[in-house]
Structure 1
Amino acid sequence: MNTGIVIKNMNGYFYVQDEVGNMHECKVRGRLKQGRYSLLVGDRVTFDPAGTIEKILPRHNELKRPHVANLDQVILVVAAHEPDINELLLNKLIVMIEHADIPLVLCINKCDLQDDNTAALEALYRQIGYTVILTSTRTGEGLDVLKTQLHHKVSAFAGPSGVGKSSLLNAIEPTFAFQTGAVSDKIKRGRHTTRHASLYSLDGDSFIMDTPGFSAIDFSDISEERLTSLYPEFLAVEENCKFNPCYHEHEPICGVKEALAAGQISTGRYESYLVIREEIRSQRKW
């Protein structure tokens, strides 16, 4: 029996790369279609010589949107400018990735266009504890650092449209030849150029996943209690909260609100937490 990793799913066929780099067009055995979960890009599988996938090997994580499996890290790409960073959207994406328990690397692309606001955001997320990489496909800055970050890992590139994900991937490996799209002058967003999640082999044990832009953010599987744990800077001061659980809003003697008042927690991050919490509460009412 052969083993491999699902590279893409197209028209009912799953394309699996085996351990020596050969590609196989496979179908799924009927009993797997009735299983607990569907086969995803990133799944490790066993398959027979005829091209039938026999078994999905255990997953170590799963991201819901886009629906992919077994990621070692997510490279969350934003642009320093064109389009400008939407802090609320950025924090929503971070919460989704944190909830999936996948390590996160923040990549600020188009760094040749950065200003003081971009520098402040970079400093903020570094202080929280995230790895931050500055890149520019125009100047080449940071590309070697990004390539090193990808070695020996399965990495998903994600983020809003128009921030240069496909251009970054083409700069890392020109043979990928991803389609790129300009930012719309009218709506200041990029056009979606990636339609399906696909995995690309960078070398023998390094894979890159290009994913469709996040267009429908869903917090339906995140509880209010879980949300508080998805802000690392909150965890550092929650021991000073009087109540457990503490939702860090109306409760007295709250370590998070004390840290906020002292300037130890970003106002923007805290406000994003309140917005997301309200979205979760609204979804629960239905």
Structure 2
Amino acid sequence: MYKVPTKHKTKIVSELKAFLPIINGLISKGKTSTEEDARIILNDLLHSVLGYNKFNELKTEVVSKNGRVDYVVKLTDGPLAKKADKFDFVIEAKACYVELSQTVIDQTLTYCNNLAIEHFFITNAREWHLYSVISKKGKPPVANLIHKLSLSSTTNLDDLAEQFYLFSKAAYLNGDWKKVSDVKSVTKIEDVVAVLLCDKTLKLVARELSTDKVKVSEESIKEIFESNLLKQWVGECNKRLLAKLNEKPKRENTKLVADNSTAGSIANDTNNDSDVGNTEMDSIENDKVA
């Protein structure tokens, strides 16, 4: 969905080597750590690893209708740089032990709505979640998760750098947030499950796995999908989409085409008969004249 430029990946890998031990130390403190502890680390993470200028691009404790926002990002370059009353996105920080729950998401979404902002991410220094704000006419805005990462999930720095890049200034300015968001919007789990369970897919897989000696049934493929590969997701299936995918071609349309074809044939035959009759009448008239 997005490609990490080599120079950014190299920088992130290099900087994470220094920051990961600090984050792990914060994790080890458990509930004795504070939000202030996390924000001290975040200031340097955002600046040194992710490329935001902490002196003039990260505005802290910005007053909103519903409270104070931890960070409001106003970049010095990019599409909103010359619009004084527009901000790029919001960052909400929590203490390292605090879960990034729905309450935190809703809180940050409220800030975004008040400030007319389309993106935000929430973090406790250990976990990072990136969201886009989806607004539809007549409905309240919702937060759509487009990427998440745990800096404590692996020690593979290359892998972490690939994932962490998406939170960077470069990724935002490159339009990678929108690219990922667009792909996410058309690849929802419930829709993918529906496509995998539709008759056309089952038939295709069964045909590909069948041999001259063994015929694999569509039912057996469906059983494998539902009981194994998609077991935890079957309940999420978009049943409306599945029904639509399994719709048979409407016979009425076929019958109508056939009827029109028959009617056209009859009309042509009638015209041909008329032409023959006209030819015969012309012949008779010519004989009379002679």
The interval holding the TM-score normalised by the smaller chain is: under 0.3
Q: With structure 1 as the length reference, what TM-score do the two structures score? A: 0.21
With normalisation by structure 2, the TM-score equals: 0.21
The structure with the greater share of residues assigned to helix is 2
- Bigger strand fraction: 1
